[in-house]
Amino acid sequence: MAQAESPRPFRVFATPAYAWLLSGAFVSNVGTWMERIAVGVYVAERTGPGWTGTVAAVLFLPTAVLAPLGGALADRFERRAYLSVITLVLTGLAGVLAALAFLDRLSLPVLLVLMLLTGAVSALHTPGFTALLSEVVPEEHLTSAIFLNSGQWNVARILGPTLAAWIMAWGGVRWAFVANTVSFWAVLLTLAASGVRREPSQRGESVREGLRAGVLAVRNDPGIALVLVLALGTGVLVAPFIGLAPAFAVNVLAIGASGTSLLLAAQGAGAVFSSVFASTWADRIGSRRWLEWAGLALGPTAAWYWASGSEASATRSIFVLGAVYLAVVTGCSHVCLGRSPARIRARVSSLFNVVLDGGYALGLVALGWAADRWGLQRMAWVGCGAFVALYAGLRWGRREAFARLD
């Protein structure tokens, strides 16, 4: 694990390759959030929580199958070229969505297929990009690199919904889809400008052997195994608050598209606050204490959000929930990346994506359709209670593994 850093989280930007890569990712993520808001509002205005959750889920369902393959491939090929090809495919899918919207040929089944394909390609992209970011910085800056990467994603979560609300008010969802298509070129340009060339680490090793090495690394490290269980529970039981924000805003709070954008922007603001704070203090207090306190707070904070009855109360509570959720997720990611050797880091990262994103997709579908029958707030409270029980079981049933997280 990296040694404790002084509280200067932004010094990692002194590494030019990291600064280039993060800036490109930020521009692209702004576009991604614009598209997600537009898709969520499009579906929520035509259906209910069930389909809203399902459409959001299909972006993440492929991760459960393809993320390990993405990690193995990212370790097998030269990463900059590999990521450039994957980004071009994502650009093409975004362009198809925009074109169909302009031609008035977009329907729910077509949207589902496009989201499924986008999720599949993204599952191949994320592990390699995460591993590349962690490898272009000195080891002592690893904590800052991980948390600030989460920070830029969440700054994009603030800016993207805000821009999406303006664009949808001006020209409808189609222009939000166009903006996302254009944003992918920022990744392509910064990959080229970064100058990074990371040679493959799987020479003479089959893809199957590469996948097996990642699984063995997780199985043989009790700390990684523990946080993967915690990440799975977070994904299934708590994380659906993100994808179901449009349904909560439109169908429960009755605050429409602008309210959806406000909620997700507030969540992003909370996550940004958490990421800057975490990049300064996570190493100082240790991973064990960080995850103990964040995990303890997550269930009650989520219940507070779902109990909201107005736009103002929902905005306040989702800000805090965004901060606590980010603390848990990035804390788990930090343990996984920090405890795994660099040569298999993409594969371990991919397994983390499997449990978090796969669990998120499962939770979205289950909660969305259960909400159609028994009510969104009621079923969300059930999920919060189940997470509290899971965390208590891990905290006091796996004390030895928790104690070894540092």
Which domains, ranges and CATH numbers included, belong to the chain? 13-196+217-403 (1.20.1250.20)
pLDDT of residue 2: 41
| Structure token digits, residue 333 | 């990611």
| Rounded mean pLDDT, 112-116 | 92
pLDDT of residue 210: 62
The CB density around residue 103, as the number of other CB atoms within 10 Å, is 9
Q: Where are the alpha helices (DSSP H) in 172-310?
A: 173-194, 207-219, 222-237, 240-243, 245-247, 256-285, 287-306
pLDDT of residue 1: 41
Is the pLDDT at 328 greater than 70, yes or no?
yes
Is the pLDDT at 380 greater than 90, yes or no?
yes
By mean pLDDT, which of 53-62, 120-129, 133-142, 170-179 is the weakest?
Answer: 133-142
pLDDT of residue 315: 94
Is the pLDDT at 266 greater than 80, yes or no?
yes
Rg of the Cα atoms in the chain: 20
Nearest to 118 by CA among 61, 173, 68, 74: 61
Nearest to 267 by CA among 330, 326, 353, 333: 326
pLDDT of residue 6: 44
Nearest to 90 by CA among 185, 167, 161: 185
pLDDT tens, residue by residue, 28-49: 999 998 998 888 888 877 777 7
Is the pLDDT at 379 greater than 50, yes or no?
yes
| Rounded mean pLDDT, 303-327 | 93
Q: What is the mean pLDDT of the chain?
A: 82
Mean pLDDT is highest, among 78-92, 215-229, 243-257, 307-321, for 307-321
- SS3 state of residue 62: coil
By mean pLDDT, which of 64-68, 189-193, 235-239, 383-387 is the weakest?
Answer: 64-68
User: In terms of residues, how long is the chain?
Assistant: 406
